[in-house]
A and B are shown apart, each in its own frame.
Chain A
Amino acid sequence: MPLLSVENLTYTYGRGTPFEKTAVSDVSFSVEPGEIVGLIGHTGSGKSTLVQHLNGLLRPQRGRVLLDGKDIWQNEKRIRDVRFRVGLVFQYPEYQLFEDTVEQDIAFGPKNCGLPPDEVRARVAAAAEAVGLPEKLLKKSPFDLSGGEKRRAAIAGIMAMQPACLVLDEPTAGLDPAGRDQVLSLLTRYRDTTGAAVLIVSHSMEDMAKLAEKLLVMHNGSLALSGTTAEVFAQADALVEMGLDVPQITAVFLELRRAGLPLPTVYTVDAAVDALLAYRAKGGDPA
């Protein structure tokens, strides 16, 4: 049974006003435990609206969201419990920090879960370690941290709730390359240690190529493409038509194929190296 599945979800903003706009229309997909799924699409393609349905911040106007096979809106009063199982990290989550110390801020989520103080402390420590925040930072004010540290502190605030599905909206936006790599690797680590599913909304094809196992592509509010990362990047033309890029290495390989070389579709540099070496071993032209 999939952990999370979305069935025929439709959502329109400002229904019945002159500003009416359909943000998500008839989207269906599912996420299995332990999967890293990338959700890509243009600005305004409905990604952010879609993810806000996953933890019940928005209620589907048509369609359903199922968690462990049960409609999350089945019991309206228990919707808060859904938010602890599906942790949503918003874009620029550092703007939601508010407590006196980093430690207290990370504890906000677990405390709301109603956990005993010991358990909260243990979870804060574990989450801080998982995102690589040293202990001496925990006593500091969150406003004294650097940009990358703030971002990781905010992500730790969600991880401390130990969600079975972690959803992140553009987790690397506005970070320097070192900060990006840190954030991306801690997401993989979270999946590896907890077996949770991770869904990442992103613009960066390079990041998704490195990280995601499955990709969902949104275009104008509907799900245009979906499948394994290789399957989706193989349809480079369709992606380009939607105004999206493919990873640079995939673009190079597509050109080479067009030039007549018998090469497979790749989306990471490592795979590209392997493919080229294999091609050479078979006696191909090394140029």
Chain B
Amino acid sequence: MIRDVTFGQFFPGHSVVHRFDPRAKLLLCLLLMIFLFLAGNFWSLLLLGAGALTLMLCSGVPLRLYLRNIKTILPLLLFTALINLFSSPGGTVLLQWWIFRFTTDGLRRAVFLSLRILFLIFYSAILTYSTTPNDLTDAIERVLRPLRFIGLGGAVHTMAMMMTIALRFIPTLMEETEKILNAQKARGADLESGNLLRRIRAMMPILIPLLISAVRRAYDLAEAMECRCYHGGEGRTRMKQMHFSRGDFVGTALVLLLCAGVLVLNFFC
């Protein structure tokens, strides 16, 4: 059932990670991901992994939800691992078969890169699980604000507004789709049988009303926004102000410390 699919990844909660300032969360997650690529040895990589694990545990989101993300990237993970496993010439040869050579170096690189991808997924999941899509859009808008100095301020606001509206209407349209789907099923619409062409044609009774209602909604919304004198981002204030609290400072400092730790480990180990 469509209703059962939760859109996006947001997992409701009130943990420290959830309450963290969305702007900082976005930037720090990006920073940590960059540092995943700067990590030059196992020690620094594992430090970042420990950081991810700590955040995951603090977020109050069940660990199995994080692990579920692995399933989607498993092919990529395996592919990377295999390529690296067999394409690294150095190190002791463990196994040789035809043109494939399996070396300690290859093994080391395969594990290293897989862990890197894994942690990358974990960090992005921490961000999306603990931040509502709307907060995330707001954060992106705020982070991109400096673009106004090169005349792109309006474009940033418009894009952010479009994203917010789109996000806002995804559940509405899903609900609408489900209603129309049920209504046509109640008239005996058969969506499951027949070949591809027949199935596409069978979708028309759902797509046409859905499109009509989406256009109608768009007009209604545009009118409602104009009635309330919406005229773009210029001079617009926000209902929900983001405040950078002391907790946010502490969190930021901790993450920066972690990054410094990565550099130190890179250098000394």
Contact = CB atoms under 8 A, between A and B. Distances in A.
A112 B188 contact: yes
A55 interface: yes
Given A18-B12, A95-B209, A96-B180, A84 B188 contact: yes
B3 A57 contact: no
Given A13-B3, A14-B3, A97-B209, A109 B187 contact: yes
B183 A96 contact: yes
B188 A109 contact: yes
A80 B204 contact: no
Residue of A52, A98, A109 contacting most chain B CB atoms (<10 Å): A98
B213 interface: yes
Nearest to B207: A98
Interface in A106-145: 108-109, 112-113, 143
Interface in A1-50: 13-14, 17-19
Contacts of A98: 204-205, 208-209
B132 interface: no
B80 interface: no
Interface residues of B, number: 22
B190 A93 contact: no
Contacts of B190: 80, 112
A98 B11 CA distance: 37
Residue of A80, A87, A95 contacting most chain B CB atoms (<10 Å): A95
Contacts of A55: 186
Residue of B180, B185, B190 contacting most chain A CB atoms (<10 Å): B185
Interface of B is mostly: helix
Contacts of A90: 179, 182-183, 186
Contact of B187 (A14, A17, A95, A157): A157
Nearest to A91: B179
Interface string A81-94: 00110011110010
Interface string B183-211: 11111111000000000000011001100
A192 to B, nearest CB: 23
A95 B186 contact: no
Given A18-B12, A113-B188, A108 B205 contact: yes
Contacts of B11: 18
B188 A17 contact: no
B178 to A, nearest CB: 10
Interface string B204-234: 1100110011000000000000000000000
B6 interface: yes
A57 B188 contact: no
Contacts of A18: 11-12
Contacts of A102: none
Residue of B11, B184, B213 contacting most chain A CB atoms (<10 Å): B184
B177 to A, nearest CB: 11
A161 B188 contact: yes
Interface string A141-179: 001000000000000011001000000000000000000
Residue of A19, A96, A157 contacting most chain B CB atoms (<10 Å): A96
Contact of B186 (A13, A14, A88, A97): A88
A214 B182 CA distance: 27
Contacts of B205: 96, 98, 108
B3 to A, nearest CB: 7
B186 A87 contact: yes
A218 to B, nearest CB: 19
Contact of A93 (B183, B185, B204): B183
A95 B189 contact: no
A76 to B, nearest CB: 12
A158 B187 CA distance: 7
A199 to B, nearest CB: 14
A84 B190 CA distance: 13
A17 B10 CA distance: 12
A19 B3 CA distance: 11
B229 to A, nearest CB: 29
A74 B3 CA distance: 25
A83 B185 contact: yes
B64 to A, nearest CB: 12
Given A14-B3, A112-B188, 6 more contacts: A17-B4, A18-B11, A96-B180, A112-B190, A161-B187, A161-B188
Sorted from nearest, which 7 A-B pairs have the closest CB atoms?
A: A112-B188, A96-B183, A98-B208, A109-B187, A88-B186, A90-B183, A98-B205
27 contacts: A14-B3, A14-B4, A17-B4, A17-B6, A55-B186, A80-B188, A83-B185, A83-B187, A83-B188, A84-B188, A90-B179, A95-B183, A95-B212, A95-B213, A96-B180, A96-B183, A96-B184, A96-B205, A98-B204, A108-B184, A108-B187, A112-B189, A112-B190, A158-B186, A158-B187, A161-B187, A161-B188
